[in-house]
Amino acid sequence: MSSSRSVAVVTLGCTRNEVDSEELAGRLAAEGWTLVEDASEADVAVVNTCGFVEQAKKDSIDALLEANDLKRTGRTRKVVAVGCMAERYGQQLAAELPEADAVLGFDSYADMSGHLQRILAGERPASHVPRDRRTLLPLAPAARHTAGQGVALPGHQQPTPEPTVPLAEVAPASGPRVVRARLDGRPWAPLKIASGCDRRCAFCAIPMFRGSFVSRRPEEILAEAAWLGERGVKEVFLVSENTTSYGKDLGDLRLIDALLPELAATPGVERVRVSYLQPAEIRPDLLDAMARTPGVAPYFDISFQHASGPLLRRMRRFGDRASFLALLDQVRERLPEAGVRTNVIVGFPGETEDDLAELTAFLEEARLDVVGVFGYSDEDGTEAEGFGGKLDAATVAERVARVGALVEELTAQRAEERIGSVVDVLVEGVDLDDDEPRLVGRAGQQGPDVDGVTYLVTDDGGMPQLAPGDIVAAEVVATEGVDLVAVPLPRPGTRRAVGGPAHPEEG
């Protein structure tokens, strides 16, 4: 294939999708495609869609339509839909969106180069036929790694052809060969440790199109972490649909506890962040490992979803306000300065005002740093789609607004509690959105993209002389909503270990 053929990978949705995009980009680069950032300068725009909730689907369709417009104004000749929405809807999406030249599911990823070549040559491949991907793997987790070797698992670095070109971005690292291409210059990167989910939450369609839970083997994760460290990544962000299940299909649920110190010791990597913990599956041993391992961020991303016990049972989940508050006490006993984020759903079928009051009482007591508030909407194929007791759209919207306003107030108060504390900040760049440019990064308590940021200033309000990728201890001096304003500590020896106590004397 001519090396003049170029491709742009456009990513929507979560950080798990970002990993999938970078693996796809790595596969294409290994087959001789030129990767470009701007879709208008690419022969093919590959849009990695999100199919999680209604707004994400609309965003994905908008992105596909925008890419199609480039056929008139740019170099773009073809637009291809991949990702979760393409996997979930396949032929239906292709019928409703003829502007896409192809709709390809996860099974197409292994030969994406071949598919794109044929599409550029004028072929229109058959659109993906959706199926419940849970049926592709054995019910018993321990049997999945042998019986499911032919099942596509995006982001898992499954066997690929040897590269046809010696590109630096797809060169082998030590250990298993890594095929991935960085699509941005950020000093942090997501690292997938598992895919799929075995839970059966009544509102969630993810298991149907992502399949059953499958862990990546530790040696593969460590090899990819080393590859990222070699390329300037200072923070690896461990992503999955359910990190607390990691290792169950490999015969050891405590495997993540042992993996964290090895990841934190990876050359070049200075911080490891863990995401998406299921409260019903959090073990004291895991809390100990996260709290005591130097280099692990003091950050707990816990998926509560609600706090009313009866409503959580209806959601096919566990827990209630008292058990969740007790769990948060366990976290803060180990790490008093921990950052905690969660998501909640309001307006679930059958939610009463008493249920909502239980949720708001929990939020008022929990002292959470970030809370994503989502209004319930029916998702195709989920159990809740068939539930009675549906609330009308106006009621759901009113409850979202009510809880959202409370959360905005509470999280701003939580940020103010951090004034005077010392946080470790990963410098990410310069924020140009304000009148005056400001150096911006994230404290250990802040996850990427949606959890707020930390602005770094000097004592006189100037911009510190720091570069993206630096991690610096800084004292929080002010807040702006959930965002922190901090001054880097001037004296050597005052910086604490990442994830450790807030001040040297507290050790």
Residue ranges of the binding site for [4Fe-4S] cluster: 14, 50, 84, 197, 201, 204
79 within 8 A of 64, measured Cβ to Cβ: yes
Helix, strand, coil shares of the chain as percentages rounded to 5? 40, 20, 45
Q: What are phi and psi of 158, to 5 degrees?
A: -70, 160
Q: Where are the alpha helices (DSSP H) in 159-297?
A: 206-210, 218-230, 255-264, 284-292
SS3 325: helix
Structure tokens given for 137: 């793997």
Structure tokens given for 184: 């941005």
Beta carbons within 8 Å of 140's beta carbon, 6+ residues apart: none
Instruction: Report which of 197, 216, 214, 215 is spatially closest to residue 206, judged by C-alpha positions.
Output: 197
Instruction: Report which of 214, 193, 199 is spatially closest to residue 149, judged by C-alpha positions.
Output: 214
Q: Where are the alpha helices (DSSP H) in 293-385?
A: 309-314, 321-334, 353-366
3-state secondary structure 138-179: CCCHHHHHHHCCCCCCCCCCCCCCCCCCCCHHHCCCCCCCCC
119 within 8 A of 85, measured Cβ to Cβ: no
User: Residues at the annotated binding site?
Assistant: 14, 50, 84, 197, 201, 204
**Dihedral angle computed from the Cα positions of residues 10, 16, 22 and 23, in that order, rounded to the nearest 10 degrees:** -130
Instruction: Report which of 85, 124, 76 is spatially closest to residue 106, judged by C-alpha positions.
Output: 85
Structure tokens given for 46: 């590959």
502 within 8 A of 496, measured Cβ to Cβ: yes
Beta-carbon count within 10 A of 63 CB: 21
Edge-to-edge strand ranges of the sheet holding 339-346: 299-301, 339-346, 370-375
End-to-end CA distance of the chain: 59
Structure tokens given for 507: 């050790």
